[in-house]
Structure 1
Amino acid sequence: MARAEERRKLAGMTKFFQGERARVQLALLTVQLGYGVYYVLTKAAMTGGVNRFVFAVYRDCIALCLIAPMAYFFEKHLRTVMTIPTFLYICALGFTGIFLQQNLFLAGLSYTNTAFAAAMQNAIPVFTFIIAVVIKYEVIRFTKPDGIAKVIGMTTAVLGSFVMCLYRGPILLGEETVPMTDDGKSVNDMVEAHGWFASKMLDFGFDIWQIGALCLVGNCFCMGVYTNLQIPALRRYPAPISLAASSISVGALALVVTGMFSVAKASDWVLSTPGNIISVLYAGAIASGLNFTLQTWANQRGGPVLVAIYIPLQTVFSAFLGVMILNDPLFLGSVIGAILILTGLYLVIWGQRLHRQAKERECLAVPFTAAAEDIKEPLLKPSSDQRASSSYGTIPRK
């Protein structure tokens, strides 16, 4: 009996994971866990002295080696002729979504910690929605419940971003340490020596943590611009993997050119330790290659709302791994800001769901109303035999 019960349970679990919705959820869990590990490994590489331009170039080259063959073989029938407007869209995508976004994220991660950087990524859907409203891709009905939910959600998320940038508070977990480079210099010295933007911000009275927070806000904004730019770009070039590969190529080229002027020593391009090599390989193969494929597949089957709901899990995974492996500090301000951002995110998602349901009700109501007004005679006319039989009267019910 016990063995039969175990077999039934195993069969039930197997049947559950055979369902498409369960596979989508498992894929999204894998994606967020992959990002959590990516933040920890990248933070360790940055602390170990890897230049962020070098890290980004290697990551994009590895991702391009994985994505380019897929784009070439699977999207031959989708690619259109490359025109000047399409090329300009690809350049804009590569500059915002690859070059700026990665630079700002890696700078913000090196100046803060994994939990904070992952928590700030929850603001990406909100920034995306705000930009979509500004450029008229999304509509806010201010007098309807869905519009009120969207406005409150966006305001709450922006407030959470400001809290995370400007307030740290006491340490809840981990220990605060001053990151050091391989040369024994602190991040303050490194910023003043190599980062003109960071040096200017230090002159204005900002500390290292706030500079990193601003970089992460800029990273989220660039991702919002990148996501909205994809809409007109895909209309002109309806091959998503090919578009991503082209954008990565442009971004990687910009990173190489910038790195040639920013990287002081040629030896910085050599990854000397096994840990740094593993971090770069993981970033290119998993964070870019596998996660991009799984997220695209899940988006096609579950929709963007389901994908957005799983984004906060990367905060949990990265915070846990960062505290356990790197002993990163978890500040009260980060927790408060993350809660506000998550609340705003779910309010925006809820408002979008209410708006979609309202549009579906309106679409369902219009045909029936028009049919009642337009139909003047029955759609199925009686035959001649039926008309003849009806002249003898109706048959009484028994």
Structure 2
Amino acid sequence: MSMRVGFLKKHIPTLAMVGLQFIYAVVNLLGKAALSQGMSPLVYLSYRQGIATITLAPLAYVHHGRNANLGMENFWLIFLASFLGVTINQGLSFFGLRLGSASLATAMSNLVPAVTFLFAALLGLEKASLRDTRGLAKVAGTGVCVVGAGCMAFYRGPEVKLGNTYTSREDWYLGCLFLFGSICCWSMWLILQVFISRTSFQPLPWSAWICFFAFLQSSALTLAMETDKSVWRLNSSTQIICCLFTGVLGSGMSNTIQAWCILKQGALFTSMFAPLCTVITTIMSSIFLHEELHLGSLIGATIVMGGLYTVLWGKAVESRTIEQERVEEAVCNGQDLTTGIQRIKMDLNEPLLGEGLDHDIEKN
């Protein structure tokens, strides 16, 4: 019995991440279904962030009390984070989801690690040396991901049928453009978190405030762009379920679960589960939403996954090298190796984004 409990305890982060991929897949499917019924992407974004705020705010207050209050030193940082990482990112994603497909949106999300590395390298926060294996792997993996994304966008190929599909007349290329813009915003948001991590603000109230600001921003944007007040009306049970599910689980609880997994195993560990969501969404969208599944999408998604794991492998090699260097430094300085190695491993749970910062641990 104790062995079984120990096994489950050891693999709880893995089980949690697998469960999250199913949640993300359902979020994409429900979002596609609701948007296909004519629901405005901006209205969907507003409802989602509003419900997420209602979900997270009481938890933040109960666990952190007055410490959940937002000080002026964090105001503009949180406001910018919510605008870039949620309002613009998810807004573009929802428009791309409506024009493209759920499987395309999930497959292209695998580009996030590669695009993040590209931006970080341009800003000098990542090493992009071609003289060692780890640098070459990260650069090559990024290039492979770009090739895979291009394949998904510009080569559709013959249709692969998993069920009774229908021919979509939506603008596939414009959808790809929206989704890529969303990926770029999310990547810049991840880089921004390097600087946010230097503050002492707690993650749970921080997430609640981000959802709140995103709700205000998306609502203002909706009022400015949608002149017809009837767009706020939810006309079907699918739209109601979509807003509730994505707000409570998709934006609220999933952020908390993922943050806990990052704390336990690191961002590198959580990133490796992204392709699983692609597989789940592709199969479910073809069967339940009768979306077209083309050979080009399958080939492109496979290439992107290969590039993703190449980048992650390069980061893993880099982390092991840094750990070895720190252990050797500890030996030379005569430090307590047991304590030092434990601290080093805790630091390396979250991969380094830049060596030039005082506090350079990326927190997703």
Tell me if both proteins adopt one fold, taking TM over 0.5 as the criterion.
yes
Q: 1:255 aligns with which of 218, 242, 245?
A: 218
Q: Secondary structure at the match of 2:127?
A: coil
- Larger-gyration structure (1/2): 1
Counterpart position of 1:6 = none
Q: 1:91 aligns with which of 79, 96, 117?
A: 79
Q: 2:50 aligns with which of 58, 61, 66?
A: 61
Letter in 2 for 1:353: A
Indicate the larger mover: 73-82 or 214-223. Answer: 73-82
Q: Say whether the 8 Å CA contact 2:60–2:68 is kept in structure 1.
A: no
Counterpart position of 1:234 = 197
Residues 1:356 and 1:318: Cα distance change in structure 2 (over 3 Å):
same
Cα distance, 1:257 vs. partner?
1.1
Q: 1:320 aligns with which of 273, 277, 283?
A: 283
Q: 2:122 aligns with which of 134, 148, 157?
A: 134
Q: 1:25 aligns with which of 14, 21, 33?
A: 14
Cα distance, 1:227 vs. partner?
1.3
Instruction: Return the alpha-carbon distance in structure 1 between the equivalents of residues 66 and 316 of structure 2.
Output: 34
Counterpart position of 1:284 = 247
Residues 1:82 and 1:39: Cα distance change in structure 2 (over 3 Å):
same
Structure 1 residue 42 and structure 2 residue 31: aligned?
yes
Q: 1:109 aligns with which of 80, 94, 97?
A: 97
Instruction: Return the alpha-carbon distance in structure 2 between the equivalents of residues 221 and 344 of structure 1.
Output: 17
Aligned residues between the structures? 332
Residues 1:368 and 1:53: Cα distance change in structure 2 (over 3 Å):
closer
Letter in 2 for 1:348: V
Cα distance, 1:297 vs. partner?
1.0
Indicate the larger mover: 326-335 or 166-175. Answer: 166-175
Instruction: Return the alpha-carbon distance in structure 2 between the equivalents of residues 169 and 53 of structure 1.
Output: 32
Q: Secondary structure at the match of 1:168?
A: coil
Counterpart position of 1:366 = 329
Report matched runs for 1:143-182 at 5 Å: 143-173=131-161, 175-178=165-168
Indicate the larger mover: 44-53 or 266-275. Answer: 266-275
Counterpart position of 2:310 = 347
Residues 1:13 and 1:279: Cα distance change in structure 2 (over 3 Å):
farther
Instruction: Return the alpha-carbon distance in structure 2 between the equivalents of residues 114 and 63 of structure 1.
Output: 22
Percent same amino acid at aligned positions? 29
Residues 1:369 and 1:274: Cα distance change in structure 2 (over 3 Å):
closer
Structure 2 residues not aligned, in runs of 5+:
335-364
Cα distance, 1:153 vs. partner?
0.7
Residues 1:14 and 1:114: Cα distance change in structure 2 (over 3 Å):
same
Q: Say whether the 8 Å CA contact 1:80–1:237 is kept in structure 2.
A: no
Q: Say whether the 8 Å CA contact 2:93–2:182 is kept in structure 1.
A: yes
Cα distance, 1:213 vs. partner?
0.5
Counterpart position of 2:273 = 310
Structure 1 residues not aligned, in runs of 5+:
1-10, 180-186, 188-207, 372-398
Q: Say whether the 8 Å CA contact 2:144–2:306 is kept in structure 1.
A: yes
Q: Secondary structure at the match of 1:75?
A: helix
Report matched runs for 1:61-80 at 5 Å: 61-76=50-65
Q: Secondary structure at the match of 2:197?
A: helix
Residues 1:367 and 1:280: Cα distance change in structure 2 (over 3 Å):
closer
Cα deviation digits, residues 244-298 of structure 1 (max 9, x gap): 2222222221211111122242222111211211111111011111211111111
Letter in 1 for 2:75: F
Instruction: Return the alpha-carbon distance in structure 1 between the equivalents of residues 333 and 82 of structure 2.
Output: 48
